[in-house]
């Protein structure tokens, strides 16, 4: 399991292109890149009213639970998880041990074609993350806290 690297404009543009191309080719409704902690890195497609923040958290933990189950049954190569629905289905695919590609797609599409297009997309994403990881620290902003008071107040 790896940390995600710092991502700059160039990375997000490349990741968005990969997800956008994938959504177009596969017919998926929504494609999200999620880190292992459940954070959404970026997404492409039509989220509509979907609560993607919660989707990211649940998908990441769901996948982690599936991997833990796999270990118990002595299966060490689980790289994807498929949840079949009547209208929308979900495919979660591991990306380079540091995140997941989560795909919401119309169930009528069938998971086979979505998986087929996901393979290339996962490779593109992994390549971009590897490039970001090998980049030295330039381009990063120095972070500055704007307010030193309490962040959260009670009503």
Partner 1 sequence: MALINQATKEIQLKIVYYGPPQGGKTTNLEKVHAEVDAPPDAKGKLTSLATNSDRTLFFDFLPIETTVVRGFKTKFQLFTVPGQVIYNTTRQLVLRGVDGLVFVADSQYEKMEENVQTFANMIQNLETLNQSLENIPYVLQYNKRDLPNAAPVDYLDFLLNNRETQVPAFGSSAVAGEGVFETLNMITRMLLHKLVTESARKAA
Could you list the residues that contact partner 1 (CB under 8 A)?
1, 3-4, 6-9, 11-13, 35-39, 41-42, 51, 53-54, 57-58, 60-61, 64-65, 68, 137, 139-147, 150-155
In the complex with partner 1, the residue whose CB is nearer, 48 or 137, is: 137
In the complex with partner 1, the residue whose CB is nearer, 53 or 119, is: 53
Burial 19-28 (b: 16+ CB within 10 A, else e): bebbbeebeb
Instruction: Report the distance separating Cα 95 and Cα 36, nearest Å.
Output: 10
Smallest gap from Cβ 62 to partner 1, in A, equals 9
Nearest CA to 20 out of 121, 106, 95 is that of 121
Smallest gap from Cβ 89 to partner 1, in A, equals 21
Tokens 């996948």 sit at which residue?
63
């Amino acid at each position: 399991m790896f940390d995600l690297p710092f991502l700059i404009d160039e990375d997000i543009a490349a990741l968005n292109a990969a997800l956008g191309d994938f959504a177009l080719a596969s017919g998926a409704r929504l494609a999200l890149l999620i880190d292992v902690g459940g954070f959404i890195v970026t997404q492409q497609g039509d989220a509509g009213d979907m609560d993607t923040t919660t989707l990211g958290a649940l998908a990441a933990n769901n996948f982690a639970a599936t991997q833990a189950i796999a270990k118990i049954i002595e299966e060490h190569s689980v790289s994807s998880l498929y949840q079949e629905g009547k209208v929308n289905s979900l495919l979660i695919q591991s990306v380079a041990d540091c995140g997941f590609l989560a795909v919401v797609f119309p169930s009528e599409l069938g998971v086979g074609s979505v998986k087929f297009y996901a393979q290339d997309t996962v490779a593109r994403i992994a390549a971009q993350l590897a490039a970001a990881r090998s980049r030295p620290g330039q381009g990063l902003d120095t972070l500055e806290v704007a307010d030193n008071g309490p962040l959260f107040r009670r009503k």
